[in-house]
Amino acid sequence: MLNIDDLKVSLEEEEKQIIKGLSLSIKPGEVHAIMGPNGSGKSTLSSVLAGKDGYIVDSGTVNFEGSDLLEAEVEERAALGIFMAFQYPIEIPGVGNMNFLRTALNSQRKTRGQEELNAADFLKLVRGIAKDLEISDEMMKRPINVGASGGEKKRNEILQMCLLEPRFVILDETDSGLDVDAMKLVSKGVNNFSSSSRSFLVITHYQRLLNYIVPDFVHIMVDGRIVKTGDKTLALHVEETGYKDFLQLGKGKH
Amino acid sequence: MTDNYEVRDVIDRETLSTVKSVGDTYKYGFSTDIETEYAPLGLNEDIVKLISKKNNEPMWMLDWRLKAFNRWKKLKQPDWALLKIPEIDFQDQYYYARPANMKEKPKSLDEVDPKLLETYSKLGIPLTEQKKLAGVIEEKHEDKSENRKVAVDAVFDSVSVGTTFKEELKSAGVIFCSISEAIKEYPDLVKKYLGSVVPISDNFFACLNAAVFSDGSFVYIPKGVRCPMELSTYFRINAENTGQFERTLIIADDNSYVSYLEGCTAPQRDESQLHAAVVELVILDDAEIKYSTVQNWFPGDENGVGGIYNFVTKRADCRGRNSKVMWTQVETGSAITWKYPSCVLKGDNSSGEFYSIAITNNMQQADTGTKMIHLGKNTNSRIVSKGISAGKAQNTYRGLVQIGGRSQNSRNFTQCDSLLIGNKCGAHTVPYIEVNNSSARAEHEATTSKVDEDQLFYCMQRGIGEEDAVALIVNGFCKEVLQALPMEFAMEAQKLVAISLEGSVG
């Protein structure tokens, strides 16, 4: 589904390479977790996959279901089925959640050459998803993320995911700022959404989220590279000993 | 979820699809090929007399015009606004133009040149009553309330070409006609109120208007009448090198109510054109007027060639106790906008509100705002201004809040927000606050923000294209003002917001 081959990425503003040769292959239905200390390049990876400005791809390729992902515009990637749940979801004053969701869904459908969803079908769909995630009607009427708590914002991200039905989901530090109950709710949303044709890339600093969203593979990222890959027990190991064992591995490759 | 909420949602969505479907930036830029009769070029006493004669005006009206003209000759064009105004040669303009076959005013819409009607239908103004009804049904499909009708007066260059729903309004006692007709048919009302809000010599442009105004709309709502439908005037400049000087007079007698809408467009031309209008509102005891404008005169091209110079004086006189006025304006067009719809709050407990969206893109300049003059006791005013600048445009909010010595317990709230798109444009806020009564309270809030890269990225990651994302964010920024507009106008305004910002990012 997604093939990253020897990717090297620098910041646009300063000549500093953040990702220094990263390869990763993700098949349909797989859940991959990337863990690593601060500054290891985890968030840069998610930004580059989603197409955010401010990064220069020095070399390497990213192939998504046969197409060159790096060539596509941000909104085209979204229409291809790439979704990123933001670490810090953005507030947009004055723009109602419903309006935003409908515009997003129909924009994607249009790009894919599908018919737009009518108002009635759309409302039914959204209300169903909102109910599962315990998001109130009142919340849905508010402008996007304005005045929402950390937990509400993250649930909103999951609602957008369920509505837009992407095939490849990046969860960027989705656990940050969540209490245990909120984390359970968010994880339930993700697990209900997962299927044999959908893949996830879970970016996280801590192991605890992986108790709820169980990964098939865990990658340890240090200094712009994946230095170790294992199964879910690798995450438990990190939880016990921290990243210090892996820092050396990163340096060793210089 | 309320119905209204869902209706809004539908509108927002339609806005975006409309933006997509519009290829041209200024879609009203076409001109109508129609034989036009001009007065000779330039301005002198003979031209003033000629305009008066063309309208078959009584002597008192001509005297009024001549007084204004003689006053105007002594006035200087104001230069205090934050505008770069190229020198205007007032002798190189035509002050009167009308479609040639309008010598005799048409008695009904059937007698109107089909080309004119075609023009208005192209502009989305269903002028004939039949079309209007069809239009109403189409537009109101989401509204659960009974179908609202809108009566339209259309002004093409210098003359009014037709007013719809006249009979129906008449039976309610409402007078809605062109001002040239009112001068002949209702001289007492016109004499009593014309110039009573904006005096002849109020300012340079208002004075010019008083001398040469050719047509406009007149509305009288009698005591105790709630106008049964929305009234609307549609202004169109078609002829080249022609100034448009319309004059609108609306009187809401005791305990009456009217909502009035005004729309404006002009063809795309290389030469700049002058527009100097005057609007006077008179509001008596317990009466209310809502006045909404969507101004979309041709803004000039991206290099600043052509476009309308829009110098407008609009003022509401809240003479009566508990009288109320609400100005709502969406200003997206014109190369230069100089406009300060004002409220004179004379009556005790009177209130004035001003909601404004001013969008400037490319080389456009706008210096706009309001004046709230508190004279009566317990008067209230509220100002919500949203300025959006893109390209190399300059956008200034200029507002006066004045609370007089006798105006006990009066309140003002002002909110001025500016949004910048790109880094070559400018936004300025110039508030003047004069409080002469210690029991008064005036609040002023102002913000300036930029369309945020992170907001754009968030929208685009969800699949929304860049221009649609900008339109979405800007419409969100303007929401409070858009909600103050009547539904049909809100739709039009949202589309305009999106269209006028096309090409402003990337």
Q: What is the pLDDT along chain B (506 residues), one digit of tens a residue?
A: 344 444 444 444 444 444 434 334 565 666 666 666 677 778 888 888 988 888 889 999 999 999 999 999 899 988 888 888 888 888 887 787 766 655 555 555 666 666 666 666 655 555 444 333 333 333 333 333 334 566 777 666 656 656 667 778 888 899 988 898 899 999 999 999 999 999 998 999 999 999 999 888 899 999 999 998 888 887 766 655 566 788 999 999 999 999 998 876 655 656 677 888 999 999 999 999 999 988 877 777 778 777 888 899 999 999 999 999 999 988 888 888 889 999 999 999 999 999 998 888 888 888 899 999 999 999 999 999 999 888 888 899 999 999 999 999 999 999 999 998 888 888 999 999 999 999 999 999 998 888 888 999 999 999 999 888 988 998 888 888 888 887 767 777 777 777 777 767 65
Measured distance CA(A41)–CA(B374) in Å, rounded: 60
Tens digit of each residue's pLDDT (9 = 90 or more) over A166-208: 999 999 998 888 888 888 888 998 999 989 999 999 999 888 8
Subunit contact A102:B475, Cβ cutoff 8 A = no
Measured distance CA(B209)–CA(B139) in Å, rounded: 35
Measured distance CA(B256)–CA(B34) in Å, rounded: 40
Q: What is the average per-residue pLDDT within A134-158?
A: 89
**Which of A52, A75, A137 lies at the smallest CB-CB distance from B463?**
A75
Which residues fall within 8 angstroms of residue B72, CB to CB, at 6 or more apart?
Answer: B201, B204, B207, B208, B210, B211
**Which of A98, A107, A119 lies at the smallest CB-CB distance from B463?**
A107
**Which of B455, B457, B462 lies at the smallest CB-CB distance from A52?**
B457
Residues in B lying within 8 Å of A, measured between beta carbons: 1, 5-6, 8-10, 12-13, 16, 452-455, 457-466, 468, 472-473, 475-480
Q: What is the average per-residue pLDDT within A100-123?
A: 92
The greatest distance separating any two alpha carbons of chain A, rounded to the nearest whole angstrom, comes to 59
**B362 CA: distance to closest CA in chain A (Å):** 25
Whose CA is closest to B235, among B261, B264, B215, B212?
B264
Instruction: For residue A52, list chain B residues with Cβ-Cβ distance below 8 A.
Output: 457
Measured distance CA(B495)–CA(B330) in Å, rounded: 11
**B482 CA: distance to closest CA in chain A (Å):** 11
Burial readout A21-41 (b: 16 or more C-beta within 10 A, e: otherwise): bbebebeeebbbbbbbbeebb
Measured distance CA(B368)–CA(B339) in Å, rounded: 5
If one counts every other C-beta atom within 10 angstroms of the C-beta of residue A136, the result is 11
**Which of A79, A90, A140 lies at the smallest CB-CB distance from B454?**
A90
Instruction: For residue B465, list chain A residues with Cβ-Cβ distance below 8 A.
Output: 75, 107
Which of A33-37, A136-140, B237-241, B281-285 comes out lowest in average pLDDT?
A: B237-241
Assess contact for A151 and B484: CB atoms under 8 A: no
Which residues fall within 8 angstroms of residue B4, CB to CB, at 6 or more apart?
Answer: none
DSSP type of residue A197: T
Which residues fall within 8 angstroms of residue A197, CB to CB, at 6 or more apart?
Answer: A28, A29, A167
Measured distance CA(B239)–CA(B269) in Å, rounded: 10
Subunit contact B465:A107, Cβ cutoff 8 A = yes
Assess contact for A233 and A48: CB atoms under 8 A: no
DSSP, collapsed to helix, strand or coil, labels residue B248 as strand
**Tokens standing for residue A237:** 């190991």
- Residue A170's beta-bridge partner residues? A84, A201
Assess contact for A102 and B9: CB atoms under 8 A: yes
Instruction: For residue A164, list chain B residues with Cβ-Cβ distance below 8 A.
Output: 462-463
Q: Where are the beta strands (DSSP E) in B375-410?
A: 380-389, 394-403
Q: Where are the beta strands (DSSP E) in A177-235?
A: 199-204, 217-222, 225-230
Instruction: For residue B475, list chain A residues with Cβ-Cβ distance below 8 A.
Output: 94-95
Parallel/antiparallel/unpaired status of strands A17-26 and A2-11:
antiparallel
- Residue A199's beta-bridge partner residues? A168
**Tokens standing for residue A243:** 């990243």
Assess contact for B125 and B234: CB atoms under 8 A: yes
Parallel/antiparallel/unpaired status of strands B175-178 and B217-221:
antiparallel
If one counts every other C-beta atom within 10 angstroms of the C-beta of residue B271, the result is 11
Subunit contact A103:B479, Cβ cutoff 8 A = no
**A30 CA: distance to closest CA in chain B (Å):** 22
For B414, the enclosing helix (H) or strand (E) is strand B411-420
Q: How many CA atoms lie within 13 A of B219 on its CB side?
A: 36
A-chain residue closest to B20, CA distance: A107
Q: What is the average per-residue pLDDT within A224-243?
A: 90
A-chain residue closest to B483, CA distance: A94
**A212 CA: distance to closest CA in chain B (Å):** 25
Question: C-alpha angle B256/B152/B145, rounded to 5°?
Answer: 65
Measured distance CA(A148)–CA(B440) in Å, rounded: 36
A-chain residue closest to B455, CA distance: A90
**B21 CA: distance to closest CA in chain A (Å):** 13
- Residue B448's beta-bridge partner residues? B418
How many helices (H) and strands (E) would you count in chain A?
9, 10
Assess contact for A96 and A150: CB atoms under 8 A: no
Query: What is each CA distance from B90 to B36, B77, B183, B208, B336, in whole angstroms?
Result: 21, 11, 26, 10, 16
The greatest distance separating any two alpha carbons of chain B, rounded to the nearest whole angstrom, comes to 68
Instruction: For residue B16, list chain A residues with Cβ-Cβ distance below 8 A.
Output: 103, 107
For position B403, what pLDDT does the model report?
95
**Which of A83, A95, A141 lies at the smallest CB-CB distance from B5?**
A141
Measured distance CA(B259)–CA(B150) in Å, rounded: 10
Q: How many CA atoms lie within 13 A of A125 on its CB side?
A: 17
A-chain residue closest to B12, CA distance: A99
**Tokens standing for residue B419:** 């949004």
Measured distance CA(B390)–CA(B503) in Å, rounded: 9
Which residues fall within 8 angstroms of residue A244, CB to CB, at 6 or more apart?
Answer: none
If one counts every other C-beta atom within 10 angstroms of the C-beta of residue A6, the result is 11
For position A163, what pLDDT does the model report?
95
**A193 CA: distance to closest CA in chain B (Å):** 17
A-chain residue closest to B457, CA distance: A52
**B475 CA: distance to closest CA in chain A (Å):** 7
**Radius of gyration of chain B measured on its C-alpha atoms:** 22
**Tokens standing for residue A155:** 């649930």
Subunit contact A100:B9, Cβ cutoff 8 A = no
Which residues fall within 8 angstroms of residue B438, CB to CB, at 6 or more apart?
Answer: none
For position A26, what pLDDT does the model report?
96
Q: Given phi > 0 = left and psi -120 to 50 = alpha, else beta, which region is A65?
A: left
List phi, psi (to 5°) of B313: -115, 115
First to last CA, chain A: 30
Q: What is the average per-residue pLDDT within A210-220?
A: 93
Instruction: For residue A90, list chain B residues with Cβ-Cβ distance below 8 A.
Output: 452, 454-455, 457-458
For A180, the enclosing helix (H) or strand (E) is helix A180-193
Look at residue A64 and tell me whether its pLDDT is greater than 60: yes
Q: Which residue has the tokens 């003059």?
A: B373
ipTM: 0.95
If one counts every other C-beta atom within 10 angstroms of the C-beta of residue A85, the result is 25
Measured distance CA(A41)–CA(A229) in Å, rounded: 16
**Which of A52, A53, A104 lies at the smallest CB-CB distance from B462?**
A104
DSSP, collapsed to helix, strand or coil, labels residue B483 as coil
**Which of A78, A140, A141 lies at the smallest CB-CB distance from B462?**
A78
Which residues fall within 8 angstroms of residue A147, CB to CB, at 6 or more apart?
Answer: none
Query: What is each CA distance from A183 to A163, A205, B190, B458, B500, in whole angstroms?
Result: 20, 14, 71, 22, 44
DSSP, collapsed to helix, strand or coil, labels residue B225 as coil
The predicted model scores a pTM of: 0.80
**B419 CA: distance to closest CA in chain A (Å):** 12
Assess contact for A228 and A253: CB atoms under 8 A: no
